[in-house]
Amino acid sequence: MKEILENNRRWVEQMRSQDPQFFEKLSKGQKPRYLFIGCSDSRVPASAITGSGPGEMFVHRNIANMVVNTDMNLLSVLQYAVEVLHVKDVIVCGHYGCGGVAAAAAGKQYGLIDNWLTNIRDVIRLHETEFRRIENEEEQLRRLVELNVIEQVRNLGKTNIIQNAMKGDNPPRLHGLVYDIKVGLLKDLEINDGMMADFEHIYGTKAMEHAEEVLEDQVGAKEDLGSAPEAKAAEEKNSKEGRDNKAPMRKVA
């Protein structure tokens, strides 16, 4: 502890020598440009790897940089950063060699943390074909780190916080980065808005409109059918499928 306090005093002297008003200015408030959601791993310090100083970055870190929609901590940070601080960029940053990602892929039990790792196992399920196709284990885990970041950026887009912000005048931009511990470099996964739009009909506020359109199309197809025996059989099949499809949509409503 003594070492930390000594380091702190040395740092204060250094900052004051560069700018005597440094701490006074910071004490007036913060206006960070970035929200950084990263891994708790000690080798991935948000400020150091991005060259950001105090006041420039609002930070949330957890095991494997997850965006979990029942995590009140993450949601509170996200809402405050987006709606109060008006950050311009929201970054999810993963890193190669992530212990959380490796543990999720290992197929073992670790205790309480398994419930958290389930969220990464869901990423494997979503991308299982691509994941299993990679034979080299290290390459497999590196790709899983990237896929996990992509899915966590998607998870940001599923929150009503981001969806509402996107309707505003200055919506934040969402980014997915991966940090390479071996070389110290950040890689931009270049996630674009189109990737989010692909799922607007399920997670977005227009989901019910889409569901109604699907139902109308089904009813329309039914009315177009003639009275020929094969058409009657098709009509019955359609009607059954229509019922099957309707059930979960009503449930959602």
Output the known binding site for Zn(2+): 39, 41, 95, 98
Residue with smaller CB distance to Zn ion, 111 or 194:
111
- Tokens standing for residue 89: 């960029």
Rank residues 39 and 178 by Cβ distance to Zn ion and give the closer one.
39
Closest CA to 150 of 43, 59, 67: 67
Regarding 151 and contact with Zn ion (CB under 5 A), the answer is: no
Catalytic residue, candidates 10, 16, 19, 43: 43
Give CA–CA dist 221/104, Å, rounded: 45
Q: Write down the least CB distance from residue 114 to Zn ion, Å.
A: 16
Q: Quick check: is 41 catalytic?
A: yes
Q: Which of 60, 95, 127, 142 is catalytic?
A: 95
Nearer to Zn ion by Cβ, of 140 and 238: the residue is 140
Choose one: 5-13, 23-31, 98-106, 135-143; the region binding Zn ion (CB under 5 A): 98-106
81 binds Zn ion (CB under 5 A): no
DSSP 8-state code for residue 29: -
Residue 52 neighbours by CB distance under 10 Å: 16
Site for Zn ion contains 98 (CB under 5 A): yes
Q: Does 39 bind Zn ion (CB under 5 A)?
A: yes
Alpha helices in the chain (DSSP H): 2-18, 22-26, 46-50, 72-79, 99-105, 114-126, 128-133, 137-158, 160-166, 193-197, 200-203, 207-224, 229-252
Is 41 a binding residue for Zn ion by CB under 5 A? The answer is yes
Q: How far is the CB of 98 from Zn ion (least distance, A)?
A: 3
DSSP secondary structure letter of residue 123: H
Q: Would you say 66 or 82 has its CB closer to Zn ion?
A: 66
Going from the C-alpha of 178 to that of each of 107, 136, 142, 145, 156, the distances in angstroms are 24, 19, 10, 8, 17
Tell me how far apart the alpha carbons of residues 78 and 35 are, in angstroms, rounded to a whole number.
8
Does 125 participate in catalysis according to the annotation?
A: no
Q: Which residues are catalytic?
A: 39, 41, 43, 95, 98
Q: Which residues bind Zn ion (CB under 5 A)?
A: 39, 41, 98, 100
